Structures are given as C-alpha cells and as structure tokens.
C-alpha cells in the first residue's frame, strides 16, 4: 500500500513522518526529491530560461557553476498563478518520476510505503496513492507553531496559510485524518489508532 501524507504549514506532517520512520515505516519526502531535482542541469537551464538569471545563487559568479536560490525562485513565483503553473510544469515531471522509482524500490522490501507531499491535493497527486492521510491542526495552532519555529511575523504566517488550500477543503478530500492540535503524546495515540485501523 502506498499512502500519501499531507497537511498544511505548522500542522505537523514532518513530525508524523519522523514518528512513522521511528516505527520502521519507509517515508519518501517529496521536498527532499525536489531539492535534488532543482540541481539537475537541464532543470536549472529550463528555470533560468523561464524566470531569468535573478533566481541564481550569487556565489555562482565566482565558481562559474549555476545553482538555483530556492528563496529567490519562491519570491519570483509567489502569488502569480501563471508563474506557479510554469514552475510546476518544469519541476513536477522529474519529481514524480523519481518518486515512482523510489516507491518501486521500497515496495520490494516493504508492504506499506508513505510519501510526504506538501501540495498533494493542489497538484492533484491523489491518483498516485492507494489512500491519502491529512495531518490536521486548527488555524490558531498552525500560527502558534510557525511563530515559535520560524520566527516569522504573524502577518507573514497568515499570508502563507491564506495562499494554501484551506484545511477544511483538504479534510473533505482526505481518506483519513490524523488530528494534531495537542502535544506529542496525543499525536502518538492518533498515529497508533491510525496504524491499528489500517492493520499495517
């Protein structure tokens, strides 16, 4: 079984991934794959062709090697749907190809494989998985966690949350909800309940 694990900023999906790994389940992180894909020379060339040299890291002028600044790229595409669509069309095919390759490898040794995907529903990846699981936290909890973790202003956090698909929408689209409004012990109980229900 291949399970897509998603959430929103500050809901704790990475914590759930870590706890699942500690229990011996393999978890593929699509963010790690995207960090690898963004170093592919053909991807760098395509991104520069579409978004310009301003998305490159500054130290490249010295080394002569090109690499993309994820922050600059994010600032370039943020809030521009057309640019986001172009970025997705460049990044997603190699990311999905690598994800499928890793799933295939892991399925040789494991009955259940988890894949952590931040934008699972936004980029319509549901069909890649046998089931989808949402790590849910209410908005107040999301904001508190991100303020504590990232040192951003509350306005910035609100803006990021508003730019994402709402948690209520994600709830409707998910096959299972792991509630994460409490502490670590409560989350452990939620994960145990989920594992028991699935019989994995």
pLDDT of residue 186: 97
Whether the CB-CB separation of 142 and 155 falls below 8 Å is answered with no
Residue with tokens 């509630």: 179
pLDDT in tens, 44-78: 999 999 999 999 987 655 556 789 999 999 889 97
Q: Which fold has domain 2-26+110-198?
A: Rossmann fold (3.40.50)
pTM for the model stands at 0.90
Residue with tokens 């929408």: 169
Taking the domains of the chain in order of start, what are their residue ranges? 2-26+110-198
Q: Does residue 116 surpass a pLDDT of 70?
A: yes
Residue with tokens 């229990």: 23
pLDDT of residue 60: 54
């Amino acid at each position: 079984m291949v399970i897509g694990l998603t959430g929103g900023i500050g809901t704790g999906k990475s914590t759930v991934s870590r706890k699942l790994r500690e229990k011996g389940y393999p978890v593929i992180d699509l963010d790690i794959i995207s960090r690898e894909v963004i170093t592919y020379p053909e991807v760098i060339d395509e991104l520069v062709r579409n978004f310009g040299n301003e998305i490159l890291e500054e130290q490249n002028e010295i080394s002569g090697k090109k690499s993309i600044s994820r922050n600059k790229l994010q600032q370039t595409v943020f809030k521009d749907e057309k640019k986001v669509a172009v970025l997705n069309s460049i990044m997603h095919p190699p990311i999905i190809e690598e994800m499928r390759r890793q799933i295939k490898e892991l399925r040789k040794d494991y009955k259940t494989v988890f894949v952590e995907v931040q934008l699972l529903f936004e980029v319509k990846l549901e069909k890649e998985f046998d089931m989808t699981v949402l790590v849910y936290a209410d908005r107040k909890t999301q904001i508190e966690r991100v303020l504590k973790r990232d040192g951003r202003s509350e306005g910035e956090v609100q803006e990021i949350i508003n730019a994402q698909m709402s948690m209520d929408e994600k709830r409707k689209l998910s096959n299972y909800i792991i509630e994460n409004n409490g502490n670590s012990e409560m989350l452990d109980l939620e994960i145990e309940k989920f594992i028991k229900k699935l019989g994995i």
